[in-house]
Structure 1
């Protein structure tokens, strides 16, 4: 195989990753390794029971449970959690759940420098990134800082077995989006590109089995492995148009995070296809498809995720506002943002048309 290796930089992130069934039993021990014993435990209301289970690993009355983590990390929720953490005198943050819980944990760490133990129950990948997205005054903004990178991540496949098939599918496509954008990132490198292709392949092969046999430990294990790899890509290199659009859509119209990624990923790949041929070849290879765009669209259809932004609650009149916000700030992307082309792409995604090349 002929390879051309260009000049690059690669900065691996310093997180401790623990992988395996039943490993959530190690949470208190991992907190102790960080010299911590008074955690605030972050969950959503639906997963409060997991937080209560974690609390049992600590001495009575030494932990505090906050169960109001909310999608897109609204600042008012963060303020409440910070107040509880201060009142309880905590020395670390433990997040158990999906992106909402982990996002709030990061928001607390950003303000306090408290160490974090993240225990994900979905495939979103945020747990291995130094990225935080927060929503203030109706606008979601992201930043990169090592202050929010969890010190320890525990992947317990047992925690994913109860994740509904529809959420598993959307969450998995969300993870794949990280790897897709890593392959055409301005700061892409050979290491991250290898990780990205392997992550896409692992999820593409396992997610259909997760949908048809949700209790399959092997399928869930492979999907979790793929999600970790894709999340590692998200944390290592910069993201482009896809993530910009999804953050605008989520923060402005309160659309569900993973489902928005699932709708948009094939469309944005089509938008970028001609400007990033090597990335598209890697994606197609990982998907075992004729093209990246067709492969992503076909996988989404097979997984029966939503196909249209209108089905997620986005108003049609929001398309122009989305274009305006996407064009507002500069960001890296292989194809320069063009308002007319973006509008066409978003119109197709709003209706639910298949992804198609956009001139």
Structure 2
């Protein structure tokens, strides 16, 4: 029998299965039936900003070959990202430290391979974004979960890190985080970043939801640690999921290792996406209008879901998710999600995707969909739960 590699054992990303089930349900509905409310996936309902799309059209109409770029991307885009860091955070970043990637999904394996060896332990708060652990496992590294709850706002603490023996080789933080939407304050992120640097723990800071916060200040790990790796993306705030474009801000010691890996694994991010991404930085008015819509969705759900029966919600500082404790309703979120889709026409993601140990008591609801759909969700849930 032929053997299979370690990567063949990677667990599924369950939200993708929920998407498939929601698509099948939507196709099976009779004409005139209420549609499926899509609250399962973190994909903005808006497309790329107009200025970004128009830049891509102009580039294509100009007849340029749109071939490979340098592995780290177009120089002009890297310079624009570096400028963005200075404008947004007041943190100077050299363009040479910026790597344009095939989305944040392409950034993580580059960062993990450059920073860690097989067998290295990488800590993360649980609940967490599932591909963190799945990619690490496929690469032969060991995800180390830090069980977090509402008492720590679903974020890790230095006390948790100090309690680990031996210390981890790395730590992943996300602020705002997926699935809970909570954030580390600038002071908390600074303390964690400095602790990691002082103790030889490589910090990977997932900042892909920056731009989508609702009161808590945003800060970047690059401001607090010379050894941290920052991951960001055009998928969320910039509303460019399918363009598959993201970036890394790298510490000096990882620049060349990541460049060599990128040359071999990806060659470069799509050229046309890089052109569009550079233009997206100049589309602030449209992007802020999108954010305002997410805020209205968030506020409507925070007001409506408790009345519907979901009153145990994490503090939604940012991103576009609500993490709901449904233990008073079920101890099987997978079954709960399936029944909610079949009987109420609402697609949401079971918590086991984000926390295998405790996730059967939680659900994640995404609120980046159309405002009318988000406004309808609490009443649908109320009717279903009271049947």
Q: TM-score, normalised by structure 2?
A: 0.31
Larger radius of gyration: 2
TM-score normalised by length of structure 1:
0.33
